Structure 1
Amino acid sequence: GAMMPHLPELRQLIFLVALKARIQIEQHRFADAVASLQVGTALAHHLGQAPLVIQGQVAMSMEAVLCRQLRHWVQTPGSPSLYGAIAALPPSLVDTDKQFQYEADNLTFLQRLAYKRTKKQILDPAQARVLFMQKRTNRDMAVLQIVEALRHFASTHEGRFPQTFAELAMAIPDDPTTGKPFMYRLEQGTAIIESTPKEAGPKELLQYILQWQ
């Protein structure tokens, strides 16, 4: 179908917002970077509440662009913790339930006749891909919340990371792609967080390696 006219502009806008945030992080203007990231998050959230699945997918890609800046933030020496800011976000910026329902409700009569077959052959696999994309995007945000909890722990324990998550005083989220805790281990003082969802290929595996400096 035709691309909605505002989606390419929103994609361009989020890259500009992300670039601005990246420069502000590099310059240690952390309060300004937070303001830029909040603008980007509001844009993604607003689009994620729109009725069409394609709008939700673009919102997820916008969120992924912002996540890259957050990853840069947590690796920047002297950066303040984003734990509270990430914890305060909604579990997902995109309302996929509403979008799937809207598209099902707006099928024409002829489409409805073919709907059951189409749903099984085309819509269900497409929805499964969108839902996994959503879980993966939510996972990227959740793991950053854990990174911030680990950074806080190390800063108050002479640079030592915990042996297990149970030592953390801060609440941490489960892995949205598995519904279970993220895998975590400590190897010679290096903290390793991993996520290996069942249905995922090698590209969907996630590993964070943290060393205190």
Structure 2
Amino acid sequence: MTEMLVSCAVVIASAVGSGAPQQPETLIRLTVDATRAPKPALKYLLLPEIGEMTQGNPIPNYLKCVLDQDSKGTDEPLSRLALKQVDRAARMDKPDWQILPKLKTDGVSLLLPDVQKMRQLANELNGRFRDEVALRRFDDAIATAKTMLALARHMGEHPTLIGGLVAVAIATVAIAPLEEMIGQPGCPNLYWALTALPHPFVPLDKGLEGERVFVGTELRELDDTNPMTAAQLRKLMTHLDRVREIQRNEKKTGEWLAERAKDEKNLVTARVRLREHGLRADRLALFSPYQVLLLEAKLDYEIQRDETMKYAPLPTWEALAYIDKVPVPKDTPLFSSFLSSLYSVRRAQGRLEQRFALLRHVEALRLHAAEHGGKLPEKLSEVAVPLPVDPFSGKPFRYELIDGVGHLRGSPPKAGEQNAVYHMHYEIIIRK
């Protein structure tokens, strides 16, 4: 008898009332043991403890495992020995991607092949994790979970938002085997292990700082101290066109500047704004119209960038609400393509937090059942341990008990209402 069914396909929740819109969801059915917390409570953790750690930089050690495999020219899975090397790397204490110099010189052209290699490692570890779960080797499975989640945390140290997104993806890969393990007879309760995870699990601060460096690199030839010659401006515009073509921007830099420079009011306004932000009037008087307009465009970019970035550290439900309300300029700024899609990145980060919070609820329900004769609670307020709120709503998760089956649901973020991955639905049955 299958104890757990993970439905990766989209299922349609029944509509209430005639003509009501159907809502897609992802259904995960778990048959679980009613299990008390381990003694001591932190016997099991999901990240390496300091006592397991060694000194060193894990990043080159991760990459060596993948590159050694690539050099063999084979699609065979990593060997057991190679995965052991990954385990050791995950327990090193000083992750350093060693790309800051290139970040400052290459800008948006920075190549990131190493990032995808980390996803390859996560997939390899995922196979081992599932095998250990299927064999009910729970101690080994938890050790692999530590490796995978440490890998994700190290990926979160990458100074790009792309690195943060890959970190979220790696951590998400580890969740399905965790669910499978929780559904296995005899699995220890992981409530306190999940509670002990950092929040947010993948921080975005390094990536956001890197985004600021990216664009500063692309605009390093834009002088705000001395007048630029026509040749310097042409060189800069050619470079910007090349960068903005990567970003699929339509209008050429020269065309945009020529249109703006036709109207003297634009130049007057630009000089006033630049003076208000610290540039001296006598210096501005020496700058050509194009240099003035480029400096104003840079200022517009920095203001618009920070209007979204300043909300990123807030709780997910607040951050998304505020970022969504940031006004979009009526006229498309010259450097609008440099702006990151922070709403999407923050939403991905919030989705991972929601998955961990849902699993923590599942384990809390197992704790409750263990103390109440194998019965699930009628409502979440009956659960004795602290429960996190839904990151997308800031409110308790939705829960109901129907015919002895617990139904736990997460709320979707704005613009995710019709996406099944944002409608997580756990059906929880206590094994008799």
Q: Which moved more, 1:181-190 or 1:115-124?
A: 115-124
1:99 counterpart letter in structure 2: G
Q: CA deviation at 1:98?
A: 3.2
Local SS of the residue matching 2:425:
strand
From 200, 207, 217, the counterpart of 1:92: 200
From 273, 292, 300, the counterpart of 1:116: 300
Q: Distance in 2 between matches of 1:156 and 1:19?
A: 35
Hey, what does 1:168 align to over in structure 2? 383
From 395, 408, 417, the counterpart of 1:201: 417
1:39 counterpart letter in structure 2: T
Note if 1:66 corresponds to 2:284.
no
Deviations 1:177-210 (A, max 9, x none): 2111111111111111111224023321111111
Q: CA deviation at 1:93?
A: 2.5
User: Do the aligned partners of residues 187 and 115 (structure 1) sit closer, same or farther apart at CA in structure 2, a change above 3 Å counting?
Assistant: farther
Q: Distance in 2 between matches of 1:196 and 1:84?
A: 24
Runs of 4+ in 1 over 2 A off after TM superposition: 108-125
User: Do the aligned partners of residues 115 and 23 (structure 1) sit closer, same or farther apart at CA in structure 2, a change above 3 Å counting?
Assistant: farther
Q: CA deviation at 1:31?
A: 0.4
The 8 Å contact of residues 399 and 408 in structure 2, kept in 1 or not, is answered as yes
TM-score (norm. length: structure 1): 0.91
Q: Distance in 1 between matches of 2:178 and 2:198?
A: 16
Alignment of 1:5-20 (within 5 A): 5-20=113-128
Hey, what does 2:430 align to over in structure 1? 212
Q: CA deviation at 1:13?
A: 0.7
User: Do the aligned partners of residues 54 and 163 (structure 1) sit closer, same or farther apart at CA in structure 2, a change above 3 Å counting?
Assistant: same
The 8 Å contact of residues 133 and 181 in structure 2, kept in 1 or not, is answered as yes
User: Do the aligned partners of residues 32 and 147 (structure 1) sit closer, same or farther apart at CA in structure 2, a change above 3 Å counting?
Assistant: same
RMSD: 2.1
Q: Which moved more, 1:116-125 or 1:69-78?
A: 116-125
Q: Distance in 2 between matches of 1:123 and 1:73?
A: 43
User: Do the aligned partners of residues 132 and 115 (structure 1) sit closer, same or farther apart at CA in structure 2, a change above 3 Å counting?
Assistant: farther
Q: CA deviation at 1:115?
A: 6.7
Q: CA deviation at 1:87?
A: 0.8
Note if 1:103 corresponds to 2:211.
yes
1:141 counterpart letter in structure 2: F
Note if 1:40 corresponds to 2:224.
no
Q: CA deviation at 1:6?
A: 1.5
Q: CA deviation at 1:2?
A: 5.9
Deviations 1:14-49 (A, max 9, x none): 111111111111111000000000011111001112
Note if 1:80 corresponds to 2:296.
no
From 341, 345, 348, the counterpart of 1:133: 348
Q: CA deviation at 1:95?
A: 1.9
Q: Which moved more, 1:195-204 or 1:11-20?
A: 195-204
Unpaired runs of 5+ residues, structure 1, are none
Alignment of 1:177-192 (within 5 A): 177-192=392-407
User: Do the aligned partners of residues 144 and 13 (structure 1) sit closer, same or farther apart at CA in structure 2, a change above 3 Å counting?
Assistant: same
The 8 Å contact of residues 397 and 408 in structure 2, kept in 1 or not, is answered as yes
1:59 counterpart letter in structure 2: A
Q: Which moved more, 1:119-128 or 1:75-84?
A: 119-128
Local SS of the residue matching 2:153:
helix
Q: Distance in 2 between matches of 1:135 and 1:122?
A: 24
1:201 counterpart letter in structure 2: E
Q: Distance in 2 between matches of 1:212 and 1:116?
A: 57
TM-score (norm. length: structure 2): 0.47
More helix by share: 1
Q: Distance in 2 between matches of 1:87 and 1:32?
A: 21
Q: Distance in 2 between matches of 1:44 and 1:16?
A: 14
Using the aligned pairs only, state the percent identity: 30
Query: Relative CO higher for 1 or 2, CA cutoff 8 Å, sep ≥ 6?
Result: 2
The 8 Å contact of residues 49 and 93 in structure 1, kept in 2 or not, is answered as no
Unpaired runs of 5+ residues, structure 2, are 1-108, 223-239, 241-294, 306-327, 329-335
Deviations 1:70-122 (A, max 9, x none): 11111112211111111111012322133123212431326773573585555
Q: Distance in 1 between matches of 2:207 and 2:164?
A: 8
Q: CA deviation at 1:67?
A: 0.8
How many pairs were matched up? 213
Q: Distance in 2 between matches of 1:123 and 1:195?
A: 33
1:211 counterpart letter in structure 2: I
Q: Which moved more, 1:63-72 or 1:200-209?
A: 200-209
